[in-house]
Amino acid sequence: MFGFLKEKLSKVVKSISEKIEKKPPIEKKIEVEKEVKKEDKKGVIKKVLEKVTKKVLEKKISDKDLDEITQDLEFSLLEADVAFEVTEKIKEDLKKNLVGKEVKRGQVKDLVVKTFKDSLSEILNVPPIDLKEIVKKKKPSLLLFLGFNGSGKTTSLAKVANYLKKNGFSCVLAAGDSFRSAAIEQLEEHGRRLDVNVIKHTYGADSAAVIFDAMKHAQARGIDVVLADTAGRPHTDKNLMDELKKVCRVNNPDLKILVIDSLVGNDAVPQAKMFDEAVGVDAVMFTKVDVNEKGGAILSVAKTLKKPILFLGIGQDYSCIKTFKPEEFIENVM
């Protein structure tokens, strides 16, 4: 997973480390204690410590050096969908950690790798959420799936319903997408396969009302979780965004999950920003990670939204969701 991002990062680390290593080292003298053997009057050999001066070769990195060697970093990472803001942060961290530092020959790469890992870890450092704990708190809980057309909302909703069922929670699905043709049938098919009820109205119905009915149904039957589908919308479509605001106002979801297709690359950030500004995103789910090796969009969205990444979609089957773990992601790409 994320092979492309890994390739780009390792190329950048290698090029920075090599360029620093190539700089002529400064010779520095340091005092060290050395064990020497001495014979005393009786001819007995004794071990004593003496101070000796040792020469070491060090690299001192200047601001100018780093500017020169990070020029291609931006372009390389952009190819892996890493947004400008993320690259800038990585550059700043490199400066903070390397400029003026005296680094021993052969140890530059380790320091560069450590700096990269720390930067990524800081970017991904948002308080995690535990879905099971959230749905345990309120009955019924409402999970709302939102996002761009075709991002994988309906599929992800079905995967999450399957995950919750497997963890002992009862579920009902709300056909909140009454807009796209066949959207209701698609959800009903998932309902049949998962053996979960689907609450629907007709096409063209008010999405907020469908979800409201599903909540009433769940309340009456003691169901734990309502998973509500919504129509896909371009984040730039004002009417559809207003409809989404209404859905939230009427139903007050417990978790608004923004579903992002990882294949959209650099468009992930503007999408995330617009949905967050419109209704406030609580968590993000990235889909189609199985067919996208880039992975940079995850870093870009995490840095922009500072919201937890709940799951990664890694295939078309119900079981193809993976809990996102920042440490695992970093180990994967570094």
The contact set with Mg ion (CB under 5 A) reads 153-154
Site string for ligand GDP, 313-332 (x = CB under 6 A): xxxx---x------------
Taking the least distance from each CB to ligand GDP, the nearer of 116 and 318 is 318
Taking the least distance from each CB to ligand GDP, the nearer of 2 and 116 is 2
The residues facing 53 across adjacent strands are: 31
Q: Which amino acid is at 282?
A: D
DSSP 125: -
Residue 98 binding result from ligand GDP, Mg ion, none, given CB thresholds of 5 to 8 Å by partner type: none
CA–CA distance, 221 with 116 (Å, rounded to integer): 51
Backbone φ and ψ for 254, nearest 5 degrees, come out as -80, -25
Site string for ligand GDP, 119-158 (x = CB under 6 A): ----------------------------x-xxxxxxx---
CA–CA distance, 92 with 134 (Å, rounded to integer): 37
Q: Are 262 and 248 in contact (CB under 8 A)?
A: no
Q: Nearest approach, Cβ of 157 to Mg ion (angstroms)? A: 8
> CB neighbours (10 Å) of residue 25?
15
For ligand GDP, the binding residues in 275-314 under the rule CB under 6 A are: 287-288, 290-291, 313-314
Residue 314 binding result from Mg ion, ligand GDP, none, given CB thresholds of 5 to 8 Å by partner type: ligand GDP
Taking the least distance from each CB to Mg ion, the nearer of 8 and 233 is 233
Taking the least distance from each CB to Mg ion, the nearer of 152 and 265 is 152
The token duo for 29 is 């003298």
Q: Nearest approach, Cβ of 139 to ligand GDP (angstroms)? A: 26
Residue 315 binding result from Mg ion, ligand GDP, none, given CB thresholds of 5 to 8 Å by partner type: ligand GDP
| Pairing verdict, β 309-313 and 283-287 | parallel
Nearest alpha carbon to residue 70 among 53, 102, 52, 93: 93
Q: Which of 232, 265, 295, 296 forms a contact with ligand GDP (CB under 6 A)?
A: 232
CA–CA distance, 110 with 97 (Å, rounded to integer): 12
The residues facing 33 across adjacent strands are: 51
Query: Quick check: 115 binds ligand GDP (CB under 6 A)?
Result: no
